[in-house]
């Protein structure tokens, strides 16, 4: 293995370790009702299901916000593929009560 490949392997191992720690932290936050409320609020702020096209520069701002929300969703999916759908169902049940 050449030095470039060695460095790539090293970076890949470090990324996997850091990603694993991040997922563990998200998992801990997601266990609590306060954590779920925070996650819901952050996703709501991101406007995942909102129209982002405005025809002006605000569209880029809104799309950036939405992009962050998509990254958070991916993080949640990597943590537990059932977390977000369950969160949606729980939110719906609370609204129906």
Which tens digits make up the pLDDT trace of 38-81? Answer: 999 999 999 999 999 999 999 999 999 999 999 999 999 999 99
Q: For residue 2, is pLDDT > 90? A: yes
Average pLDDT over residues 26-32: 97
Query: How far is the C-alpha of 52 from the C-alpha of 63, rounded, in Å?
Result: 6
Q: For residue 12, is pLDDT > 90? A: yes
Q: Are 86 and 94 in contact (CB under 8 A)?
A: no
pLDDT at 94: 87
DSSP 14-38: HHHHHHHHHHHHHHHHHTSHHHHHH
Q: For residue 97, is pLDDT > 90? A: no
Q: Are 52 and 1 in contact (CB under 8 A)?
A: no
Contacts (Cβ under 8 Å, ≥6 apart) of 39: 29, 30, 72, 76, 87
């Amino acid at each position: 293995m050449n030095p470039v490949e060695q460095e790539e392997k090293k970076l890949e191992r470090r990324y996997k370790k850091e990603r694993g720690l991040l997922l563990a932290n998200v998992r801990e936050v997601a266990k609590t009702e306060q954590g779920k409320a925070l996650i819901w609020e952050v996703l709501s702020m991101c406007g995942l299901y909102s129209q982002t096209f405005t025809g002006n520069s605000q569209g880029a701002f809104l799309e950036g916000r939405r992009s962050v929300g998509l990254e958070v969703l991916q993080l949640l999916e990597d943590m537990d593929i059932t977390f977000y759908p369950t969160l949606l169902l729980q939110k719906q049940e609370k609204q129906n009560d």
